[in-house]
Structure 1
């Protein structure tokens, strides 16, 4: 353990971009094992793996932090929409989701209440929908 602590002293370590690169390498490895025309992915899978290792062992923390921040800015909206979709899917039996006609805010209401008047929490406009 002491060896690893000394090895990573002054280094960034593994961050979100490195994990994404490692996952990309694993997916490319799996695609490469599918057959003869896909062997190119097996060879190309070493590129994200090498870049992830380079980033993990790099001592230039400022540059690696900037790369990670740029990656998180790019992935953030995608991650947020996937999280929202997963939540809506999990709530599909108990709640309905509607969009406000004026401000387009997504409003969550309980399912099975019949025709209800929904007040938007953002713009306070009232609209009627059937749950």
Structure 2
């Protein structure tokens, strides 16, 4: 049985990060549809799961790979945005974060120093801010 499955999956794309995400989303939508008793949500959930199976058994490797790369790029952008916001919130008590007026580079300055002249490390522009 294992050998038959292995032969069948040979040359197919298989499971990737996008497929896993869509499978979880589809299952959550189907559970939500059963709670709310909505046929539209149920249809969307089943469509997501069917799309996952089509991707997993697809032989069009390059198309599935490109879709997964786009998903990973979007996921990393969203994660980076929230990681940056979390980092700023953690440093809020000890530092002030200013952005350079010319190049928009973020510059971190310790709090409690009064008026300071800040030099941007990227473009060397000097500007005065109160820390």
TM-score bracket, normalised by the shorter chain, equals 0.7 to 0.9
Q: Provide the TM-score with structure 1 as the length reference.
A: 0.72
Structure with higher Rg: it is: 2
Q: What is the CA deviation profile of residues 67-126 of structure 1, one whole-angstrom value per residue up to 9, with x for unaligned ones?
A: 223334555544432332232233333332211111111223333443322211111112
Q: Provide the TM-score with structure 2 as the length reference.
A: 0.72
Structure 1 residues 3 and 110: CA distance shift in structure 2, 3 A: farther
1:47 corresponds in structure 2 to 47
C-alpha distance in 1 between matches for 2:93 and 2:14: 42
C-alpha distance in 2 between matches for 1:85 and 1:23: 26
Q: Which shifted more, 72-81 or 97-106?
A: 72-81
Which 5+ residue runs of structure 2 have no aligned equivalent?
Answer: none
Which 5+ residue runs of structure 1 have no aligned equivalent?
Answer: none
The number of equivalent residue pairs is 129
Moved over 4 A (4+): 2-5, 73-76
1:109 corresponds in structure 2 to 109
C-alpha distance in 2 between matches for 1:88 and 1:94: 10
2:122 corresponds in structure 1 to 122
C-alpha distance in 2 between matches for 1:116 and 1:126: 10
